[in-house]
Structure 1
Amino acid sequence: MEEKIYLRLKKKITVDPNHLLRLSDIAFVTGNVKDLSNLNQLKIYQITEKDKNVSVIDGFLLLDRLMQVYPNYSFDLVGFNQTIVEIKKQVKKVNILIITAIWLLLCVGSAMAIMNFHYDVSMQEVQKSIAYLLTGEKVEKPLWIQIPYSFGLGLGMVLFFNHIFKKRFNEEPSPLEVEMFNYQQDLDNYLIYHENVITKRDDE
């Protein structure tokens, strides 16, 4: 019976600087070989300072390495064709002043955006008209409409983002999470194209 090995590359991993990548670090391995421990410990790639913050291990590079060491095995690569290797950076201390400044900037910017939108669509005049239609009286400040509208606006934003601090209402992703996921996918595709080990080696 042919000895066959199946490999499924991990999409993304995080390692320490100068880490020696082994097969078990970047792939899930199975097959009809009795002992996979030696295969899992096979050295694949040495992370160096040239790799900077990220490197990409290509499936072709992996198969080439495996066939050199185990010429009698048959290898089948399934799933992802590359593994993105993120190299840990030195963690910096959180600067409370910077966080506070960003928080204030976002809050003021959001408030300005909402107020400018209401000004553009003449929201106050609309609310006056609604109050007149419902009561038959002209009121300059229909607070019985404006106050619940303000609370409803805040509640709507909370429901839209599906979060209160770390509390999540349900498993459905918010539009912001979907956009962040799409951005991460595009970023990963960029890294796969530009940071591939094979591409770097060919350029050199």
Structure 2
Amino acid sequence: MALEREYDFWLLDLDGTLVDVEWSYTREVFDQVGDRLGREFTDQEADILWNGLTGSRDRQLEEWGVDPTAFWEAFHEEEDPLVRAEQTYLHEDAAFVADLEVPVGLVTHCQEFLCEPVLDAVGIRDWFDARLCCTEETGWKPDPEPVQSVMADLGVAHNGHRGVLAGDGANDVGAAWNAGIDAIHVERVGHERRGQCVLGDYRVRSFDELS
């Protein structure tokens, strides 16, 4: 990949960037969460929340009159790590990450109890030299703290190294820029479905375009 030579390190998001899950799994989880909360989620609402199409999921939930804390408690209780891992697939164009010869880190909102089985199921655990699953303690993208934490783990913080973060959402781009590195936005769902365009230093529909 031509861009590899431009950067001293790479950071990547996970869900929607490197991997995705079958829609049937997403639909089932939202049905179960809806039963818990006494509130049905339409296909469009499930799509918006799962893919973060409107940015902050918590803000979107509040706009719909759903308490974010109650939603996430129900959501994580209903997610089965092994089932999710079985229904997760790796995007073919993500294969370039395995060949990167610079430090590589993972910065994801996917919770650790879900992330670990997914990494094993799709066989990409050894792609990363450092990983961080965001929590309330670490902060959430677009805050720069999670990105800066992984940069520190990689030994590339505050020493002039040039890096990039690739992700599928506006929060990924914001986190990269807030941390002072470049951003690649890979648009997996299309701006028509998203309802807006996400700007980045690079905007692609597939990582193959970067070559």
In the superposition, the TM-score normalised over structure 2's length comes to 0.23
Rg (Cα) greater in structure = 1
Query: Which of the two has greater strand per residue?
Result: 1
More RCO (CA 8 Å, sep 6+): 2
